[in-house]
Amino acid sequence: MLPRILLAALGAILMTSPAMAQVDGPKPFGKTADGTPVETYTLKNKNGVTVKLMTLGATITEINVPDKQGKFANVVLGFDDVAGYQSDRNQYFGCTVGRVANRIAKGKFTLDGKEYKLAINNEPNHLHGGVKKSLDKVIWDSSFGINTETGAKGVCFSYESPDGEEGYPGLLKIEVMYFLNEKNELHIELGVISDKKTPVNLTNHSYYNLAGAGTDTALDHELKLEANEYVPVDKTLIPTGKLEAVKGTIFDFTKTTRIGDRIEKLYDTGAKGYDHCCVLTKRAKAPTLAAKLRDPKSGRTLTVSTDQPGIQLYTGNFLFGQKGAGGKEYKLRSGVCLETGGLPDAVNQPNFPSIILRPKEFYRHTCIYAFSAE
């Protein structure tokens, strides 16, 4: 486990935050195919909002929030059992993604003159950290995260990724911490240290449907992004290396826009919908507003804040009607991902913000998902 560097770094933020939710767990959730036990935790605040978390993949399995009438629903896609998360029905639902989220061109990069080769699991590229030991597929250690300065309670997941795992250099010590406060804000804090120079870009990969998970479509959701630029990509979804203005394009969400209004124009690009990184206009060390997503019928609203330079908009273009939690079907484009982090293929793109972590440095990524009903 990491020394509690991450908890110490959180002190100033949590000192000024509203009171934190209570934590229940760990509780047995089942076993993996190789017999390893999996456990869950539940965060619950005084408003009745609950967030369920799982040690497999440091995953969010449920987020239950009210609509404008006070009716609760789970708004993230997931499964009722471990088998679902280990099946081909799972498309990174709710998990922690890495070591490097998003795509790396042709599964390779060069660092200090040495070429590193990675798994090609999204032909012809590498996606989301690999195949067998990417962060979504491992069992994380877990504990209550209690800040001794503030008394804030949450859940801390930790994992030690050995040098060479999935082809990446460096021994990584990783922590992911989840806190829910009384303002219905879910804080996600990700921290990493490494003993070697290595690329790191973590994110959470939850699919949201604010009408309730299992609702037929998310294309009626309204979206506003604090992004004046986006990352153009080729037909394999690898960046061209340039950034372009969103103004006058189908990527312009600077004003609130229904997600489905222009999505059909993307169908012949290889993306089959939105699967693009938008470059946030304001880049700050502290979390800054990045996105606002709203379901007009229920009024449920999600705002996303982060300290990262990008946010990946993905509209569930490869969902295929698989059965999820409660037997509900997850149809094509019935979930929206808003993944905060570095820009895609940054390790091969010299003009993009660097994702290289060096020894004695500390990778930190903050994302805040805040829920309300309007």
Q: Which residues are catalytic?
A: 205, 339
Cβ-proximal residues to 48 (8 Å cutoff; 6+ apart), any chain: 64, 66, 72
> Which amino acid, 297?
K
Which residue is associated with the tokens 């003009």?
351
Distance CA 150, CA 152 (A): 5
- Please say if the pLDDT value at position 330 is more than 70: yes
Cβ-proximal residues to 151 (8 Å cutoff; 6+ apart), any chain: none
- Please say if the pLDDT value at position 14 is more than 80: no
Q: Of 332, 325, 330, nearest to 84 (Cα)?
A: 325
Q: Which two tokens stand for residue 154?
A: 């949450």
Q: Of 94, 115, 113, nearest to 104 (Cα)?
A: 115
> How many degrees, rounded to 5, is the angle at CA 124 between CA 76 and CA 237?
55
144-159 tens-digit pLDDT: 876 555 555 799 999 9
Q: Which two tokens stand for residue 33?
A: 């195919």
As a CATH number, domain 5-373 is: 2.70.98.10
Query: HSE on the CB side for 94, CA within 13 Å?
Result: 27
Q: Return the SS3 of 356.
A: strand
26-67 tens-digit pLDDT: 999 999 999 999 999 999 999 999 999 999 999 999 999 999
219-278 tens-digit pLDDT: 999 999 999 999 999 989 999 999 999 999 999 999 999 999 999 988 766 568 999 999
Which residue is associated with the tokens 């639902």?
93
282-315 tens-digit pLDDT: 877 789 999 999 999 999 999 999 999 999 999 9
Q: Residue 18's pLDDT band (boundaries 50, 70, 90)?
A: low
pLDDT of residue 12: 38
Q: Of 315, 277, 307, nearest to 102 (Cα)?
A: 277
Q: Domain residue spans in the chain?
A: 5-373
pLDDT of residue 145: 72
pTM: 0.94
Number of Cβ atoms within 10 Å of the Cβ of 31: 14
59 CB-contact burial (10 Å; exposed 0-12 / middle 13-18 / buried 19+):
buried
Q: Of 238, 201, 241, 196, nearest to 104 (Cα)?
A: 238
